[in-house]
Amino acid sequence: MKLKNAVFAALAAVCACGCVREDDNAIRMITEATFPPYEFLRGQEIVGIDVEICRAVAKTLGKEFKCETVDFDSVIPAVISRKADLAAAGITITEDRKKNVDFSDPYVRTGIVMIYKKSAPYAKAEDAKGKRVGVQGGTTSETYVLEQLGQEPERFRSPAEAVAGLKAGRVEFVLADIDPAKNCVKGEDDLAISDFVTSEEYAVAIRKGQPELLKAINDTIARVKADGSLAKWIAQYTEEADKLKEK
């Protein structure tokens, strides 16, 4: 009896968390909510710049909006497997990712920076070569360390965890996108941020072959840029994320 109940429980858990579920009345966003100001937790609520963009897409389509957080390396697979309709998690457009998903027009230009201890200054990318470099797993920071520095990085679940590793001496540098990097070093007098190591663009990712959804996303991005909503969300959630860091 225990085994039978365990099997049913396991099946129920799989269906609740990952079965393909057609829901024409909702737009399901998948994200990774440890990336302020783009997505983070306000108590149990997922909020941030990306969340507002995707909520606006749902409104454009006249549908209910739902959002779920997973580990970053599960975000794009979730849209490929139809577990979510769209993915937004500070996702950088790359040629490799474009083989598997379609990207919207970019909505933010950004880049990777190096976080380092002021007691061990960073001047150029070569300074990190051969050193222990922390990154969030599955990100373009990880790709940079693998391809440009030619070494394995120390992988963490979030930029904040990587910076904690830096402070604890587990790594000597952290590579991260500029906005979460700024949030991570706020109030940390012993840490500093380098100039941009790379230049990147964020976009919304969807499963391939959905031209109507892609058009709705692009139309929404164009509208929130033009009417000032995107600028308002960037200011609002950057301020909120900074206050969370101060607590």
In a domain, 186, yes or no: yes
Q: Does residue 1 fall inside a structural domain? A: no
Q: Tokens 């997973």 appear where?
A: 70
Domain count of the chain? 2
What is residue 115's predicted lDDT score, i.e. its pLDDT?
96
Please give the Cα distance from 54 to 235 (Å, whole number). 17
Is residue 37 assigned to a domain? yes
User: How far is the C-alpha of 177 from the C-alpha of 196, rounded, in Å?
Assistant: 9
User: Which residue, 198, 217, 237, sits at the end of a domain?
Assistant: 198
How far apart CA 127 and CA 118 sit, in angstroms, is 14
Written as one letter, the residue type at 59 is K
Q: Is residue 22 in some structural domain?
A: yes
pTM recorded for the entire structure: 0.78
Do 149 and 178 belong together in one domain? yes
Same domain, 93 and 129: no
Over the stretch 161-215, which tens digit does the pLDDT of each residue have?
A: 999 999 999 999 999 999 999 999 988 999 999 999 999 999 999 999 999 999 9
Both 219 and 103 in one domain: the answer is: yes
Cα 84 off chain centre by: 15
Please state at what angle helix 211-226 crosses helix 49-61, rounded to 10 degrees. 120
Same domain assignment for residues 120 and 191: yes
The verdict on 95 and 156 lying in the same domain is: no
Q: Are residues 82 and 162 both part of a single domain? A: no
Q: Can you give the pLDDT at residue 247?
A: 59
Q: Are residues 87 and 173 in the same domain?
A: no
pLDDT at site 246: 61
Same structural domain, 57 and 162: no
> Does residue 9 fall inside a structural domain?
no
Instruction: With respect to residue 101, please indicate whether it lies within any of the assigned structural domains.
Output: yes
Q: Do 27 and 77 have their domain in common?
A: yes
pLDDT of res. 34: 92
What is the CATH classification number for the domain harbouring 56?
3.40.190.10
Which pLDDT score is estimated for 242? 81
At 23 the pLDDT is: 59
pLDDT in tens, 36-71: 999 999 999 999 999 999 999 999 999 999 999 999
What is the rounded distance in angstroms from the CA atom of residue 27 to the CA atom of residue 4? 35
Residue numbers of the domain that contains 156: 112-198
Q: Mean pLDDT across the stretch 14-19?
A: 34
Q: Which helix (H) or strand (E) holds 165?
A: helix 159-168
pLDDT digits (tens, 9 = 90+) for 116-172: 999 988 878 788 999 999 999 999 999 999 999 999 999 999 999 999 999 999 999
**Whether residue 61 sits in one domain with residue 46:** yes
Same domain, 60 and 177: no
Residue 26 lies in a domain: yes
User: Does 192 share its domain with 225?
Assistant: no
At 18, is the pLDDT very low, low, confident or very high (cuts 50, 70, 90)? very low
Q: Give the model's pLDDT for residue 16.
A: 34
29 within a domain of the structure (yes/no): yes
**What's the confidence (pLDDT) of residue 121?**
83
